[in-house]
Structure 1
């Protein structure tokens, strides 16, 4: 099932995308008043069966007639992110001159975790505002959405805590990332976390390692990788974070980006006004955004 947050001349609502992808069913009548996708995920044991059985009976609006927002426009807390989680990207970042020398090892032996501010989130089709950077970069990432929260989650049990998946573009101000010698600030400018277009339930995705990710800029392929190439897979990331921190329903874990980001080219190929970045992941659709 594909859930969306959409608007069509009214306040944002929760929708379910039709099986053929052409329409959005407004499922507001099936949910408690004021429900968001975040609330639906938190009450999935009760609401999931209702949506599966009755969503197709609700009013259907053509997909092109509605405005999609990020499926979780206001996460309950910062997005969990992972640095250098593909071998080739770790290498390109290490030799770019943008990494902190103490962290420039080619392959990390533990997941490199950081977060991205909730206020950075924006939706599919939204403009990305560069803000105070002249070195704007893209990072296409598969993102896991936690369903059942918990602490001390084992690798073996991790997938039972995954509600589903979405796509995030971990837009980055590289000069700010470099100059401040940490990643939070350079990753958290407003509009620098495009998300969507859908939140897709895990049962619809199946084997995550069989998925493929592609990023294009103005139609030119820049990134391509199978998700099996992750250094630290989804279960490892969940186990790492939850070892000492309680994960909550709706938490987002962006799993890292493959090689091919702008700083990896010689000279770097940063984004400029008018560029269109499109990120596609098997089964999750395409997240498209233009640079203001």
Structure 2
């Protein structure tokens, strides 16, 4: 099941992708739930009974006639306005940690615990949306393809074995960064949180579509050049560990977004750096999820 947020006739709706992702079904209408106004409400109220009903919708060929073509609607980020900051992991691929050691000219020690930071993203852009180049504010905009984990239910002190139970699904996230601001301020929140610097989409894939543990190829291309290419099996701290560790003394909420880290190949890692330029098209891809494409103004 592939869930999207979309705009039709100036109304925001939650949709289910059908027919090889070429059509979108209005979920609220199909389920008879008028209160289903956005993706956060779906995630919050989505129990096993609802998931079974939604699975049934994918088998009902009659409903395909009520679905609209994807080309006739505007896709938003699946969660345009999250309830809380995006939770991010830094240096969670060994090769990325190594390239930063080389580019920064200093030792990056082997991590004994995850590096967490917050990314303020009150408005997350979606597939096809433009990235603001923020002239006169930054000259070093970078890209980072990441697997995003979407939490499905509230939980605290979650065990490793229970971690998957607390997942709703997965998406693609581009963790854009102003490297000059990130360096200037030492703390990362400013350089990571400029407007339009969080892109996510094009959909959320329900966890039932993917075998656990998650092993997915992910890539990032800038124009026609492949910059990043890896697999989520290379995460230093895997998804069960992340969820369990984060939840120790800290309650995770439905709709929380966890960006699990990025592999080597970021612009900062090249010599000289390959930062984004106006007009560049950034394509973040993760197998079985899709492509997230954005252009820098």
TM class by shorter chain equals: over 0.9
CA distance in 2, matches of 1:19, 1:196: 18
Find 2:196's aligned residue among 188, 191, 214: 191
Unaligned residue ranges in structure 1 (runs of 5+): none
CA distance in 2, matches of 1:47, 1:88: 41
Could you tell me how far 1:94 is from its partner in structure 2? 2.3
Could you tell me how far 1:36 is from its partner in structure 2? 0.8
Task: Tell me the residue number matched to 1:263.
Answer: 268
Task: Tell me the residue number matched to 1:18.
Answer: 18
- Contact 1:197 1:287 (8 Å CA) reproduced: yes
Task: Tell me the residue number matched to 1:5.
Answer: 5
CA distance in 1, matches of 2:172, 2:198: 10
Task: Tell me the residue number matched to 2:44.
Answer: 42
CA distance in 1, matches of 2:208, 2:214: 14
How many residues align? The count is 288
- Alignment partner of 1:119: what SS? coil
1:150 correspondence with 2:152 = no
1:93-242 correspondence runs (5 A): 93-97=100-104, 104-131=107-134, 132-242=137-247
1:71 correspondence with 2:55 = no
Task: Tell me the residue number matched to 2:27.
Answer: 27
**CA distances 1:139-166 after superposition (whole Å, capped 9, x unpaired):** 0000101112210001111111111100
| Segment drifting more, 154-163 vs 194-203 | 154-163
- Contact 1:119 1:191 (8 Å CA) reproduced: no
Q: TM-score, normalised by structure 1?
A: 0.95
CA distance in 1, matches of 2:152, 2:41: 11
Could you tell me how far 1:49 is from its partner in structure 2? 2.7
- Contact 1:148 1:161 (8 Å CA) reproduced: yes
CA distance in 2, matches of 1:82, 1:15: 29
- Contact 1:150 1:247 (8 Å CA) reproduced: yes
- Contact 1:209 1:226 (8 Å CA) reproduced: no
Could you tell me how far 1:50 is from its partner in structure 2? 2.7
| Segment drifting more, 33-42 vs 85-94 | 33-42
- Contact 1:120 1:189 (8 Å CA) reproduced: no
- Alignment partner of 2:276: what SS? coil
- Alignment partner of 2:202: what SS? coil
- Contact 1:40 1:47 (8 Å CA) reproduced: no
**CA distances 1:225-253 after superposition (whole Å, capped 9, x unpaired):** 01100000101110111001100011110
- Contact 2:36 2:42 (8 Å CA) reproduced: no
Q: TM-score, normalised by structure 2?
A: 0.93
Deviation beyond 6 Å, 4+ runs, structure 1? none
| Segment drifting more, 35-44 vs 49-58 | 49-58
Unaligned residue ranges in structure 2 (runs of 5+): none
CA distance in 1, matches of 2:39, 2:171: 13
- Contact 2:80 2:123 (8 Å CA) reproduced: no
| Segment drifting more, 45-54 vs 184-193 | 45-54
Could you tell me how far 1:34 is from its partner in structure 2? 5.0
Task: Tell me the residue number matched to 1:246.
Answer: 251
Alpha-carbon RMSD across the aligned residues, in angstroms, is 1.5
